[in-house]
Amino acid sequence: MATRDSMIQVTDLKKHYNMGAIKALDGITVDICQGDVIAVIGPSGSGKSTFLRSLNLLEEPTSGSIIFNGIDITKKKYKDAQGKTQKLNIDHLREKMGMVFQHFNLFPHMTILDNMVLAPMKVKGLSREEAEKKALELLDRVGLKDRADAYPIQLSGGQKQRVAIVRALAMEPEVMLFDEPTSALDPEMVGEVLDVMKELAHEGMTMVVVTHEMGFAREVGNRVLFMADGKLLEQGTPQEVFEHPQNPRLKDFLAKVL
């Protein structure tokens, strides 16, 4: 693992609310490497989602650092290669980090195709033809090419989430963040979404997945992080975490969910 390039280095990340009365994140240190598929598990309220959302600054951390592509993105300014102070452009960073939400967050006033081409056209400056070609390819991959002209409301939950995944992929991100992508789905639709994510993992995409699907964490993840009370209590391979848990909180958690 040490031979692979480190992509995101998180050091002592803290997120406090109410002047430190609530510690949503209490000193998280973790290294995310190219090609990692990291499953983040833990009881609800443990800070999993806050951690994930901090990675692309949807939550602004209180302290600590997140080094992404060599830049500490928790600071609003950085020094470039020439040593000049630059203002951090958060939009450029988010472009490289795709995010998938629990509630899909498709744009309801646009067709599926328009949902997919908006960011590539407006942010990357692709022409409509290029963007649509790309979008249709991606939709084809998840079996939804024939729904390109439908509106989000006409799709099932599983279909919406598959669209949300390829919408993020259309920006060709370097890393994909998943915030409980199957938690809002009916049980019979969980499989179709997990299949898309598995495929993505096998293609070598770097992924951070907050999930309650222990089967997925065990099968697809190459590392599992266990969080509770804003702290990273245990991390390791799925085998280490699931077969030989060390921390009593983890043992307790696994006893409840497995």
Partner 1 sequence: MDQFLQIENFGRIAPYAELFWQGTLVTVLLAVFTVMIGFCLALILALMRMSNLRPFRSLELDASGHVRQGGVLPVLSRFNPLSFIATAYVEILRSTPVIVQVFIIYYGVFSLIELPGFRMFGFIRFDRFFPGVVALGMNSGAYLCEIIRAGIQSIDGGQTEAARSLGLSQKQNLRYIILPQAIKNILPAIANEFVVIIKESAITYTIGVQDIMSAVNAVRGATFVIIEPLLVATAIYFCLCFPTSKIIAYFERRMSRGDKR
* Interacting residues toward partner 1 by CB under 8 A: 16, 19-20, 56, 58, 60, 62-63, 74-78, 91-92, 94-95, 97-99, 101, 103, 105-109, 118-119, 122-123, 151, 153-154, 164, 167-168, 171
Nearest CB to partner 1, comparing residues 56 and 245: 56
The answer to whether the beta carbons of residues 30 and 225 sit under 8 Å apart is yes
Calculate the alpha carbon distances from 143 to 76, 146, 159, 203 in Å.
Answer: 41, 8, 9, 18
Q: Per the structure block, which two tokens stand in for 88? A: 């951090």
Closest CB 143 distance from partner 1, rounded Å? 22
Nearest CB to partner 1, comparing residues 210 and 214: 210
The answer to whether the beta carbons of residues 228 and 251 sit under 8 Å apart is no
Closest CB 92 distance from partner 1, rounded Å? 7
Nearest CB to partner 1, comparing residues 122 and 128: 122
Nearest CB to partner 1, comparing residues 34 and 102: 102
As a whole number of angstroms, the distance between CA 7 and CA 16 comes to 25
Q: Per the structure block, which two tokens stand in for 56? A: 């692309």
As a whole number of angstroms, the distance between CA 16 and CA 222 comes to 30
What is the distance, to the nearest Å, from the Cα of residue 69 to the centroid of all Cα atoms in its chain?
17
Calculate the alpha carbon distances from 231 to 3, 48, 51, 129 in Å.
Answer: 27, 9, 10, 47
Taking each helix axis from N to C terminus, what angle separates 187-202 and 157-169, rounded to the nearest 10 degrees? 20
Nearest CB to partner 1, comparing residues 94 and 147: 94
Closest CB 238 distance from partner 1, rounded Å? 27
Closest CB 250 distance from partner 1, rounded Å? 30
Nearest CB to partner 1, comparing residues 55 and 190: 55
Closest CB 142 distance from partner 1, rounded Å? 17
Nearest CB to partner 1, comparing residues 69 and 239: 69
Nearest to 135 by CA among 102, 168, 93: 168
Residue given tokens 């084809």 in the structure block: 140
As a whole number of angstroms, the distance between CA 117 and CA 166 comes to 11
